[in-house]
Structure 1
């Protein structure tokens, strides 16, 4: 029996377009003799739909669209579609109003509904806000041939349902284990509809877990994952299948839509080997692909065609410009140079060289006179005070205002260029360089910014060589360097990784070998910068702990880790 995985890129809320993608995949699969087609989790509405799920008309239209889709699916194929279904007992029992479900469409009908049992509520997930967990694991019996009375039992799971193997994790995450329950029911193989967000090297973890489960339970697993960018989340695809021995027998593309076909042999009771797409060899390669996809989809799905960003001649804006060029095309990127009295000659030269290397459009708007006018206007109020942060930040806010004005005038999407290291400690200017509709590298630490740029230059110079070797500086005052205010980025990034991503205490970080004074300084900066992060544009998530949807820290707090 042939099985297909439709690795789709849905747009949240676009029921018509999403349904058409599913239908096209079903038609193509049916033409190749496929009997069962898998689509990702909530494929009809897109994942994550968030509070759209509270909208009654949205739910009604989604279920009506499912009925329409069922009537149009080719007759010789069964299709599993991800959808939110209504919980009829919600009002009487006090349960959540919906189920996160998979609907099996066959012969013009909705044959069976399966509901997700394990609802994640960590990191970016908040499914218990909307969904009631399914009560039991179920399977679908699919007839192999209309001429024979032969069936296969297919265990249906949804994303998190496969993430509770206590033998793999060393502990239980939930009270029930759908994988174990389905194998106890004697199913022939297990399928999983997933919308698993990307983070660096996550596919290796997924495959290790799924391989362990397939081998431990002696059962094949077929895993269908979503691709695409939806707000701050990126989905990498990499749909995969394992045989009974836990060996990968099929893998779809990374960061691209795909339709892959594999085959289950009823006699061998196993999946047969087929095409296996290689994973990126380096983390830099997969991060690059993720960020490019994130910018491309955010731009398109939000209705923009062109982007704008400020070019300082520094490494952060250079990397963002390169990502944007790859994502939307050089003809759709505008870089704006805004030299101030503190901008070095080399910064302007480096920015202009980057523009030439990328082939993007550029404008130069010197802000010396604008800064002078601001200082003159503020002189009566600032009299008797010394030059400080307020004056330093003026040029950043002037630049932010100019970029927003151009974006507003011509309908461009403004990309902000701050990295994770800066966002963590607040080394950024609110209403200045933080302005924008998307923070492209807000989850990329400064040290990773450098490694990405070196990787990007592996074949030819894209990021100007001088950008890679000069000391980083915001150039907000004469001869300023980042390390005047911050520890070296190698030290800073390790402290941030330990404190933010690994949840280590200051004591643990100090015990790891860091200077106590530096650790206390950095932790204090991270805690005090929360008000800035709450007002930042959405940032593309590439690590397991980003300053976005999954970061829920208080602003007005007296707690400070010591």
Structure 2
């Protein structure tokens, strides 16, 4: 079967125009022999639902667009749509075939209910849980298809025995620097999809969305993988494409002419994603120009260069702030010349002898310049600054923060990569960054770069990877510093609320881990004994009847285990001279604590809690092989854990 992937750049909610383009692309694909055309998940409606009062009108207009598509496309198509489930996005896919529209997820759910699958799974308990009851599986032209919207869906296809020939993965995920799989085909050798092909023994068709929806950036790079892991076809990143590939379920391989997977260049893909995100975000806000503050520091140089790449030099207005340091002044002037930016100079001495006040006034001058030029002011704050350096009571930074979801250590990496294209940023600027002023940070590295690496390692461990403070300390040491970093992260929450939007570039943003206002409790590093629950034994009761039942069940299990151990001892233990061991009280307490955590609001009994990528901007599921927070040695140890 010939399958076409219509990798198209759209504007969310532009239903009539997008429907017309879908029909055009379907006709073109059919002319080239395609028997199924698959459109990207975000093409029609983006990745986030509208507010509930607007849903009725949107759905009526969406229905008109779907009817138009069903009446005019010459071949079967998969058209993804988006609905709302209690305020969260609920993706669906319509199978358009012979003038009819079939909602695939809804059909799968109803079919599961009719056959009793949902009730069966509900009664089996967590350990016997099955796949999601709304996981679409359908047949078309003799080929059996499975449909996945998220990594959780792919996990189900991996873990359970589905009779499918092809798995269609509709990416609604967005690019994340810490997850190679989010870059789709360009990182296929580093991500999870080859493992998915092997686990399912099916063709994997990755359908990449393209463009910026909200603040999430999609890079395209659709692909087709064979069950044995060869790359059959791939679309370019950041470009529209009509990808048509022959998918033959009877073929055992190898292909006559497979493609060689690319070497994943994370900094290059990330820079291009941020550039696309900046240009399209400004366009969606009604701007074609930006104003930047250039003072020779690392972040200001990176933002000015990124804006120039995204918008062109004639659309970027630079406010050159001088007087802080002669070398930085020289680097800032040289950068503006290299980028050919129109410049307005602002001496710091003319503002105030108070450095903090002068910096605030410079921000006000940037806003005034932006207003004068009809431009959007850009903030130079990175993720590290937003996490630890925006203090309550400080003046908020106006405008969009292009690097607001990129750690400072990664900004260094991005700038080094950008300079390999053209060396516009000086060595002085590349080293003009500060390590957040955390007590004891001097002990965490011999150089400023290594100390910054440690700070960002702690932040990413907590934010992206959801690790408790004690786990971070166990791996990286320095308990007082780790505690101080996470305390500062919580303390800066009120100031972050007044900062502008960021372009999402990670699996979890600072917004996803917002600390409750007024919460005075802070975590600290715990000993092994504390984490095992010593000192709280006997104080927890679930009620006399449940306590008695649990105690009886525990005793019976202990008796069975004891008998089993005794028989093993008779068979080989006496020869080895290994004495019987008493019950492990520490393990018992750990099991009790785990039970309590399971019953907590965020615990494991919440059936819809995704693994791994669980922020607002992700859809859940494990990142897959190679999903690391960074590339330095300290990150590699962390990623293996």
Q: How does the TM-score come out when normalised to structure 1?
A: 0.77
Q: Does the 8 Å contact 1:252/1:277 carry over to 2?
A: no
Residue 382 of structure 1 corresponds to: none
Within 5 Å, which residues of 2 pair with 1:420-439? 420-427=383-390, 432=395, 434-436=397-399, 438-439=400-401
Pair 1:56-2:56 in alignment? yes
Take 2:156 and 2:146, find their aligned partners in 1: how far apart are those partners? 16
Within 5 Å, which residues of 2 pair with 1:516-527? 516-527=479-490
Residue 371 of structure 1 corresponds to: 352
Superposed CA offset, 1:338-361 (max 9, x none): 335xx1222222111001111122
Residue 121 of structure 1 corresponds to: none
Q: Does the 8 Å contact 2:396/2:499 carry over to 1?
A: no
Residue 393 of structure 1 corresponds to: 356
Q: Does the 8 Å contact 1:53/1:59 carry over to 2?
A: no
Pair 1:200-2:177 in alignment? yes
Residue 405 of structure 2 corresponds to: 443
1:558 to 500, 520, 527: 520
Residue 535 of structure 1 corresponds to: 498
Greater CA drift, 400-409 or 286-295 = 400-409
Take 2:66 and 2:356, find their aligned partners in 1: how far apart are those partners? 53
After superposition, the Cα gap between the structure-2 partners of 1:42 and 1:288, relative to the gap in structure 1 and judged at 3 Å, is closer
Within 5 Å, which residues of 2 pair with 1:455-534? 455-469=417-431, 471-472=432-433, 488-534=451-497
Pair 1:316-2:316 in alignment? no
Q: Does the 8 Å contact 1:249/1:271 carry over to 2?
A: no
Take 2:207 and 2:219, find their aligned partners in 1: how far apart are those partners? 11
Take 2:386 and 2:63, find their aligned partners in 1: how far apart are those partners? 41
Larger Rg: 2
Pair 1:403-2:366 in alignment? yes
Residue 533 of structure 2 corresponds to: none
Take 1:538 and 1:193, find their aligned partners in 2: how far apart are those partners? 26
Residue 530 of structure 2 corresponds to: none
Pair 1:262-2:260 in alignment? no
Residue 381 of structure 1 corresponds to: none
Q: Does the 8 Å contact 1:211/1:246 carry over to 2?
A: yes
Take 2:27 and 2:380, find their aligned partners in 1: how far apart are those partners? 43
After superposition, the Cα gap between the structure-2 partners of 1:275 and 1:326, relative to the gap in structure 1 and judged at 3 Å, is farther
RMSD value over aligned CA atoms?
3.3
Structure 1 residue runs of 5 or longer lacking an equivalent are: 88-94, 119-132, 144-150, 169-176, 373-390, 474-480
More helix by share: 2
Q: Does the 8 Å contact 1:12/1:48 carry over to 2?
A: no
Structure 1 residue 35, shift from structure 2 partner: 1.5
Q: Does the 8 Å contact 1:225/1:237 carry over to 2?
A: yes
Pair 1:65-2:28 in alignment? no
After superposition, the Cα gap between the structure-2 partners of 1:263 and 1:313, relative to the gap in structure 1 and judged at 3 Å, is same
Take 2:169 and 2:132, find their aligned partners in 1: how far apart are those partners? 15
Structure 2 counterpart SS, 1:462: coil
Take 1:64 and 1:270, find their aligned partners in 2: how far apart are those partners? 43
After superposition, the Cα gap between the structure-2 partners of 1:49 and 1:139, relative to the gap in structure 1 and judged at 3 Å, is same
After superposition, the Cα gap between the structure-2 partners of 1:2 and 1:272, relative to the gap in structure 1 and judged at 3 Å, is farther
1:154 to 142, 145, 157: 145
Superposed CA offset, 1:119-140 (max 9, x none): xxxxxxxxxxxxxx98544444
Residue 452 of structure 1 corresponds to: 414
Superposed CA offset, 1:173-215 (max 9, x none): xxxx6xx44x2xxx44332323121112634487554333332
Structure 2 counterpart SS, 1:37: strand
Superposed CA offset, 1:295-322 (max 9, x none): 1221222221111111111010101111
Pair 1:83-2:116 in alignment? no
After superposition, the Cα gap between the structure-2 partners of 1:269 and 1:81, relative to the gap in structure 1 and judged at 3 Å, is farther
Take 2:178 and 2:463, find their aligned partners in 1: how far apart are those partners? 18
Take 1:141 and 1:510, find their aligned partners in 2: how far apart are those partners? 51
Structure 1 counterpart SS, 2:322: coil
Matched length: 487
Take 1:261 and 1:14, find their aligned partners in 2: how far apart are those partners? 25
Q: How does the TM-score come out when normalised to structure 2?
A: 0.69
